[in-house]
Amino acid sequence: MSEFDLDLPAFSDLPLRDELLAVVHELGYTHPSPIQAQAITPLVEGRDLLGQAATGTGKTAAFALPMLERMADQRPSRERGAAPFGLILAPTRELALQVSEAVQRYGAGLQARVLTVYGGAPVGPQLKALHQGVDVVVATPGRAIDLMNRGALKLHDLEVVVLDEADEMLDMGFVEDIETLLDSTPDTRQAVLFSATMPRRIETLAQKYLREPVTVRIRREEVAEGEAPKVRQTAYLVPRTHTTAALGRVLEAERPKAAIVFCRTRLDVDAVTETLTGRGLRAEALHGGMDQEHRTRVVERLRSGRTELLVATDVAARGLDIDLLTHVVNHDVPQSSEAYVHRIGRVGRAGREGVAITLAPPSKVYALRNVERLTGQTIEMAAVPTAADLRAARLERTREALREALADMPADDDGVAAVVAGLAEEFDAADVATAAIRLMTAAAGTPDDGEDIPVVSAPRSGSRDSRGPRDARDSRGRGGAAGTRAPKAGTTRLFVNAGRASGVRPQDIVGALANESNLTGRDIGAIQIHERHALVEIPEHAADDVLRSLRGTTTLKGRRANVRRDRGFASAGSRD
């Protein structure tokens, strides 16, 4: 037992009934975690609660045990087939299943009926279970709204509502669904909100729906002097359209033993994984489209060293705790400073050194400065390795491998020495070795980095462009010479048969693409508006899906517009 445990009460000191304590004891828990110690008692008393706690702190038990305790207290006065006692909202199917499993385990001695509902699963069994009656529903927001609109999920008599990973739900665009669900619950219900980060919009949500809440904020456990986290933080400045290519170069130069690469979307995860694998790096994807068994196998391969890189969304990586993690990599600058801090807290633990890497366009440097102000730590700005840098690094690795091989030369004759000796009689020995190394390098399938990534610099302090991204795209698109260049690396260009003559603006094109395909505004690159057509750059890996989504459906300024791949790089005048 640690000194830290001695400062906490025992589970038996908390206001929990014997059936719950028996399960806790079976699981081997004697002392609650800090979040459990501070949250369980006020929740059992019926207080609303706003909690900030990172993954792995035990917050599921912190809200599940009090909910089950209160449910058991009120069960004699409630009809067994009535509306659910508790509703727990989670951002993803994976998290909903994990939470549901925990609630079922804790409530086994109380015969708690727990139902998990999420999109993508057949709705019939969920409707049947709700009709028969359940005690606790664990749901993703979209499916909860669907079931409520069908009249199956009845919230009029709800006693407890929990928002788990609230920041992730808001980041995923569920704010309207959440507010609709909360507005449908009675004023007397208990509301509990847990979030790993606490941005302003979470505080606004709490102010609107929580009544005089208890606030619990759990910081990461302090480590002893000399064991403080040692995290080297570096940001590589790169044009947005070259981000994935730059990431491959940076990771090849760093050669992490175990890293998580964070991406914004599932589409980005798949594209980045494919790019990194093409560079000979051992990378695997982790996102919400995978079942739990596949997820477990992927994580285990990273832990065992069979994989070097795990490419994941924030939501998919929630709950992962990998002690030997050496690097955390941000493919994009996180949306908030708190999210950045939450990510990099996964490395540099217990005195070990760790590395945090971020790929950032110049327009996002201000966000990194905000992180520096929040943490009091410096993020070093660096240039992406050039093709020459990578060639030199590869040759250095080859030199070291040859030194090790020469130091451990096998005694048995496998015929290689005879081949070398024969060639040395015909050619200079140094030329033979040079040719062998070149052949070895070619066989390794090293990528072609012939095209250098443009060098960019951070904007001067105070010079951040006040225009929004769409305005900036508009100014680039009206440059006369812009229409003659090829699309940037990693992107392709779409041709839209509507332009200035139709009143089309960049924001019209952004809206059409974002509304009718899986692209977000951040995915869309330079837009050029000409008299009777427009050109727009999008990620190459997404082009086929986008064109399928837009086939026959695109409308601009009230008129149907055709969208296709650009067939060439002619000047604006030759088309118009």
User: Do residues 499 and 530 lie in contact, with contact meaning Cβ atoms separated by under 8 Å?
Assistant: yes
Confirm whether 93 is domain-assigned: yes
Domain containing 292 equals 230-386
Residue 45 and residue 125 in one domain: yes
Task: Please identify, among 364, 386, 408, the residue that sits at the C-terminal boundary of a domain.
Answer: 386
Residue 368 and residue 516 in one domain: no
Q: How many domains does the chain have?
A: 3
Residue 174 and residue 41 in one domain: yes
Confirm whether 423 is domain-assigned: no
Confirm whether 86 is domain-assigned: yes
Instruction: Write out the chain's pLDDT in tens, 576 residues.
Output: 333 344 568 888 999 999 999 998 887 777 898 899 999 999 999 999 999 986 667 889 999 999 999 999 887 666 666 689 999 999 877 788 889 989 999 999 999 999 999 887 889 999 999 999 999 999 999 899 999 999 999 998 999 999 998 988 887 778 889 999 999 999 999 999 998 888 888 999 999 999 999 999 886 544 444 444 578 899 999 988 889 889 999 998 888 888 999 998 888 888 899 888 888 888 998 876 676 677 778 888 888 888 889 998 876 676 566 667 889 999 988 877 777 887 887 787 656 678 999 999 888 888 888 888 777 788 988 888 887 777 777 788 778 778 777 777 776 667 778 888 888 888 887 887 888 777 776 655 556 565 667 777 665 544 433 333 333 333 333 333 344 456 667 788 888 888 887 778 777 787 777 666 767 666 788 888 887 888 888 888 888 878 877 766 677 766 777 888 887 543 333 333
In whole angstroms, give the CA distance from residue 195 to residue 208.
16
Structure tokens at 300: 């285990």
DSSP tally for the chain: helices H, then strands E: 23, 20
Residue 491 and residue 378 in one domain: no
In whole angstroms, give the CA distance from residue 177 to residue 168.
13
In whole angstroms, give the CA distance from residue 236 to residue 246.
8
Residue 48 and residue 165 in one domain: yes
Task: Please identify, among 330, 364, 386, the residue that sits at the C-terminal boundary of a domain.
Answer: 386
Residue 481 and residue 563 in one domain: yes
What is the CB neighbour count within 10 angstroms for residue 262? 25
> What does the longest C-alpha to C-alpha distance in the chain come to?
98
Task: Please identify, among 170, 192, 217, the residue that sits at the C-terminal boundary of a domain.
Answer: 217
User: Do residues 229 and 348 lie in contact, with contact meaning Cβ atoms separated by under 8 Å?
Assistant: yes
Residue 296 and residue 364 in one domain: yes
* CATH code: domain of residue 492: 3.30.70.330
Structure tokens at 550: 């837009």
Confirm whether 410 is domain-assigned: no
| Of residues 124, 131, 46, the one with CA closest to residue 80 | 131
CA Rg, the chain, in Å?
28
What is the CB neighbour count within 10 angstroms for residue 409? 7
Confirm whether 425 is domain-assigned: no
Structure tokens at 321: 């705790």
Tell me phi and psi for residue 58, to 5 degrees.
90, 25
Provide DSSP, 504-526. --HHHHHHHHHHHSS--GGG---
Residue 209 and residue 318 in one domain: no
Residue 163 and residue 311 in one domain: no
| Of residues 496, 544, 495, the one with CA closest to residue 519 | 544
Confirm whether 105 is domain-assigned: yes
pLDDT given for residue 1 in this prediction: 36
From first CA to last CA, the distance across the chain in angstroms is 78
Beta bridge partners of 486: none
* CATH code: domain of residue 196: 3.40.50.300
In whole angstroms, give the CA distance from residue 360 to residue 333.
6
Residue 193 and residue 244 in one domain: no
